[in-house]
Amino acid sequence: MSQTPADYSGPQRVLSGMQPTGQLHLGNYLGALKNWVSLQDDGAWDCFYCVVDMHAITMPHDPALLPDSVRSAAAAYIASGVDPSKSAIFAQSAVRAHAELAWIFNCVARLGWLERMTQFKDKAGKDKERASVGLFTYPVLQAADILVYKATHVPVGEDQKQHLELCRDIAARFNRDYGKGEAIFPTTEPVIQGPGARIMSLRDGSAKMSKSDVSDNSRINLDDDADKIAKKIKKAKTDPEPLPATVEELDKRPEASNLVGIYAALTGTSKADVLGEFGGEGFGKFKPALADVAVQYLAPISDEYRRLIGDKAEIDRVLAAGAEQASEVAEPVVAEARKLVGFWG
């Protein structure tokens, strides 16, 4: 993994987050959660994993449902292997320093930088005049989430690349304008790796697997049981050709490429390895093998998720302890930023 620049001598920290808007799915797991767990288990980093409920209100939402959605995401983190005794798990809104640093960063980021963000354009749709201002400044809050811990590494899926570049721009601009060029904030490294970095819909190989897709068959949810997982793989869209021998040929076939990528990501191998085993075989043979692997990896997560979600008190205890741990790190950082911009008190 790439290193933080030599001019930054602070601790190596990891931060990442997910929106509590709908059930987490295989894309969230392979693109992010799986790497969260590896970084945590590596032991070289302090890890902070939040549920970004402040980002969730940038789009229309039901306030009555939000707290349970936060619990659900936290339960999915833990079921996936994020261990509360090793990593801080918390709700973003419980650590006020995120909002405070976000305001400072709103005054550091430039309008032109935000106007280039493709996720805003996708989410706002045609009628961007009616989008919330929060949706527009969403990536600034994301930068605050990261830099309020001076996080050096951020494990995410490929779709977050542009937001992480903006985070680096904000850090550099802050350091220049308020830090006299000193590295107050680090140049954060995105950790985007492996064949799981971009998982596509099971119904359409050109669309990202997403919580907002109307078709439940387009994704494998982290609370799907073994039977559902196998059925969704059986129904997944494919083409009539057998699997090719090379990755170059595979890349021209989006649905086939996605299924091979999922197999590779789940088993910790590469697409080339999977083709080495299944090249020349039809989907009649490959799909059952993929279903077996998916059930073997995901059914225990789904079982653990369903056990945990029944124990609200335990989840709330984890979130409270995580918020306390996170605040201890974030408060001094925001205090330093306040001082540097000249705030009162």
Nearest approach, Cβ of residue 154 and ligand TYM (Å): 5
Task: Please report whether residue 204 would count as binding ligand TYM according to CB under 6 A.
Answer: no
DSSP letters of 278-338? HTT--HHHHHHHHHHHHHHHHHHHHHHHHHHTT-HHHHHHHHHHHHHHHHHHHHHHHHHHH
At closest approach, how far in Å is the CB of 2 from ligand TYM?
Answer: 17
CA distance 15 to 333: 15
CA distance 88 to 230: 33
Query: Is 121 one of the annotated active-site residues of the chain?
Result: no
Catalytic residue among 34, 126, 180, 211: 211
Q: Which of 208, 228, 232, 271 is catalytic?
A: 208
Which of 96, 123, 173, 198 forms a contact with ligand TYM (CB under 6 A)? Answer: 198
Q: Under a CB-based contact definition with an 8 Å cutoff, are residues 286 and 259 in contact?
A: yes
Distance in Å, CB of 76 to ligand TYM, minimum: 11
- Strand arrangement, sheet containing 87-91: 87-91, 46-51, 13-18, 153-155, 189-191
Instruction: Give residues with Cβ within 8 angstroms of 68, minimum separation 6.
Output: none
The answer to whether 89 contacts ligand TYM (rule: CB under 6 A) is: no
Q: Is residue 156 involved in binding ligand TYM (CB under 6 A)? A: yes
Which of the stretches 26-34, 39-47, 127-135, 265-273 binds ligand TYM when contact is defined by CB under 6 A?
26-34
Which residues, 261 to 280, sit near ligand TYM by CB under 6 A? none
Which residue lies nearer to ligand TYM by CB, 32 or 295? 32
Q: Tell me how far, at minimum, the Cβ of 207 lies from ligand TYM, in Å.
A: 9
Residues 128 to 147 in contact with ligand TYM, rule: CB under 6 A: 142, 145-146
61 part of the interface to ligand TYM, by CB under 6 A = no
Annotated active-site residue 231? The verdict is no
Show contacts with ligand TYM in window 205-264 (CB under 6 A).
208-209
Q: Hey, how many other C-beta atoms are within 10 angstroms of the C-beta on 336? A: 14
Give min distance, CB of 295 to ligand TYM, in A.
20
HEC assignment per residue over 132-173:
CHHHHCHHHHHHHHHHCCCCCEEECCHHHHHHHHHHHHHHHH
Q: Which residue is nearest to ligand TYM (CB)?
A: 31
Evaluate whether 68 touches 23 at the Cβ level (below 8 Å). no
Q: Is 86 a catalytic residue?
A: no
Q: How many residues bind ligand TYM (CB under 6 A)?
A: 25
Q: Is 17 in the site for ligand TYM (CB under 6 A)?
A: yes
Residue 303 phi, psi (nearest 5): -60, -45
Instruction: Check residue 199 for interaction with ligand TYM (CB under 6 A).
Output: yes
Rounded Cα distance, 267 and 274, in Å: 9
Contact at 8 Å (CB) between 219 and 211? Answer: yes
The reply on whether position 28 binds ligand TYM by CB under 6 A is yes
Residue whose token pair is 């930023």: 337
Q: Which stretch binds ligand TYM (CB under 6 A): 15-23, 230-238, 250-258, 281-289?
A: 15-23
* Residues ≥6 apart with Cβ < 8 Å to 326: 48, 50, 88, 90, 94, 95, 149
Instruction: Provide the annotated active-site residues.
Output: 123, 208, 211
Give the interface with ligand TYM as residue ranges (CB under 6 A): 15-19, 27-28, 31-32, 52, 55, 142, 145-146, 154, 156-157, 159-160, 163, 197-199, 208-209
